[in-house]
Structures are given as structure tokens and as C-alpha cells.
């Protein structure tokens, strides 16, 4: 029988390769988190704003909550644009390093970029959680608003 090969692990690879693999994993996780973020339906604000007030005591709460969702959605989209630009710059620097020999300063810069990428992913995750909470709150207020309209014969 042949000699068994030692399994390839991340720690057995060169440092620059380790950083490149870690950066790719972070980018994959960040993209996955971004896909999971729920977008607030902008129609909520329009539906409430189109004169459905009619004395409904839940009107203002629902309208405010829908506006908070829309604001948070804009904040998330803006942060995603900024994070994407940062990632493009990091990728460009990494590819330029791959074309020549790696120095200690390159490794330090890769490590710093990795930390910044982790920070971006964490902030995006936190924004997503905030958005989920806002949407849950808005849906709860929407249900109260619609229930009041139904009870008072004002449902469309």
C-alpha cells in the first residue's frame, strides 16, 4: 500500500495564502449576511399616508414605524455601498501583492484589511438585526391599525 498523504490544512500553507483564504471566507459571509437582510416594504408608508387616518389611534405609531424601517433600509444600502468600495480596494491591493513576493508590511496590511473586513461584516450583521426588529415592530403596528379599521368598517 502507498504512503498516506498528510492532509492539507490552512496552517500548513504560506501566510499570504492563509490571509487570502480568510479574506475570501469573510467576503462570502458578508455577502450571505447581506442577502438575508429584509427590506421594508415601502408600500406600507404609502398605504398609511394616503388618507386612511380617519381617527385611527394606531395611525401615527404605524406611520412612524414604517418610516423608521425606510430610514434603516437607506442606512443599510449606504453602508453596503461603502463596504463594497472598501472590499474592491482591498481586493486590488491583495492581487497586486500576489504578483510579487510578500513582505512583512504586506502581511501586516493584509491583517489590518482582514480586521476591517470583519468589522464591516459585524456592522452589517447588526444593521440586519436592527432592521428585522423594526420590521417586526412595524408588522405588529400594522396589524393593530388594520384591526381597528376592520372593527370600525373602514377596511378597504
Tell me, yes or no, whether 8 lies in a domain: no
Residue entry with cell 452589517: 124
Q: What is the DSSP letter of 21?
A: H
pTM, to two decimals: 0.58
Radius of gyration of the chain (CA): 24
Tell me, yes or no, whether 62 lies in a domain: yes
Residue entry with cell 502507498: 2
Tell me, yes or no, whether 58 lies in a domain: yes
How many independent structural domains does the chain possess?
Answer: 1
Note the pLDDT tens digit of each residue in 52-107.
Answer: 556 788 888 888 888 888 888 889 888 888 888 888 888 777 777 666 677 788 78
> Which percentage of the chain shows pLDDT scores above 90?
1
Yes or no: say if 120 and 84 are a contact pair by the CB < 8 Å rule.
Answer: no
Tell me, yes or no, whether 142 lies in a domain: yes
Higher pLDDT, 121 or 98: 121
Tell me, yes or no, whether 54 lies in a domain: yes
Q: Which of 88-97, 118-127, 135-144 has the lowest mean pLDDT?
A: 88-97
Tell me, yes or no, whether 95 lies in a domain: yes
Tell me, yes or no, whether 90 lies in a domain: yes
- The domain containing residue 79 runs over which residues? 43-151
Tell me, yes or no, whether 93 lies in a domain: yes
C-alpha–C-alpha distance, residues 69 and 78, integer Å: 14
Amino acid at each position: 500500500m502507498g504512503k498516506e498523504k498528510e492532509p492539507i490544512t490552512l496552517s500548513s500553507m504560506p501566510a499570504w495564502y492563509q490571509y487570502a483564504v480568510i479574506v475570501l471566507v469573510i467576503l462570502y459571509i458578508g455577502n450571505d449576511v447581506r442577502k438575508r437582510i429584509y427590506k421594508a416594504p415601502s408600500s406600507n408608508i404609502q398605504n398609511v399616508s394616503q388618507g386612511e387616518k380617519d381617527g385611527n389611534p394606531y395611525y401615527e405609531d404605524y406611520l412612524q414605524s414604517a418610516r423608521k424601517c425606510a430610514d434603516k433600509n437607506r442606512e443599510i444600502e449606504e453602508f453596503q455601498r461603502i463596504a463594497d468600495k472598501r472590499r474592491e480596494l482591498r481586493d486590488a491591493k491583495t492581487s497586486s501583492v500576489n504578483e510579487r513576493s510578500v513582505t512583512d508590511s504586506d502581511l501586516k496590511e493584509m491583517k489590518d484589511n482582514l480586521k476591517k473586513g470583519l468589522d464591516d461584516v459585524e456592522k452589517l450583521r447588526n444593521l440586519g438585526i436592527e432592521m428585522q426588529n423594526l420590521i417586526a415592530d412595524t408588522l405588529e403596528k400594522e396589524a393593530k391599525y388594520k384591526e381597528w379599521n376592520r372593527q370600525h368598517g373602514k377596511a378597504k
